[in-house]
Amino acid sequence: MPDYIYCGTDAQVSMDNTRALLKAAEAIWCPPPLLRPWHVRTEPAGGERVWLCWSPTPEGPLSLLAGGRLLPNPRALTSSPVIWTDPGARATAIELGYTGPTNMTFLKLVKVRFLDRERDLDLVLPSGLSELAPRQASLLSSLLPIPS
């Protein structure tokens, strides 16, 4: 099963608000792949590990914030079974400074774990959802294990 990472940037909202959305709604703001292509070889289906990181600029230095497991949407709304629309998550996102339509989309997570403070990563990845190489997943798992 592949592992993933979602990299948020200052172009969306601040690091604190990225973390706050995950804490409050167990959600990561994420446009569907048809609007913003994902950097994946294997389409996520749900149950995979995903880590949340943040960077002040696209493809800049990364800070690890949290992680969890992708929750599949039983009513797949898009081409991806892990994309959700959630009015509660949207309301929280708007309060935190996100912008978007009424059908704003999210990745929902379960078994979410947070670091006490962010950790700088020696990785360069594009913003959005990316599939991790095995050694990258091993590094992230050593810093923030995600339960089965």
Residue type (1 letter), 102: T
Can you say whether residue 64 is alpha, beta or left, with left for phi > 0 and alpha for psi between -120 and 50 degrees?
Answer: beta
How many domains in the chain?
A: 1
- What's residue 35's pLDDT? 86
Does 114 score more than 90 pLDDT?
yes
Q: What pTM was computed for the model?
A: 0.94
- What's residue 6's pLDDT? 97
Q: How confident is the model at residue 15 (pLDDT cuts 50, 70, 90)?
A: very high
Would 148 be classed as within a structural domain? Answer: no
Do 96 and 29 meet the contact criterion of CB atoms below 8 Å apart?
Answer: no
Would 47 be classed as within a structural domain? Answer: yes
Q: How confident is the model at residue 10 (pLDDT cuts 50, 70, 90)?
A: confident
Q: What single-letter DSSP state applies at residue 43?
A: -
Do 121 and 53 meet the contact criterion of CB atoms below 8 Å apart?
Answer: yes
Would 130 be classed as within a structural domain? Answer: yes
Range of 95's domain? 4-143
- Spatial neighbors of 28 by CB under 8 A, at least 6 apart, are 6, 8, 18, 21, 22, 50, 52, 106, 107, 109
Would 121 be classed as within a structural domain? Answer: yes
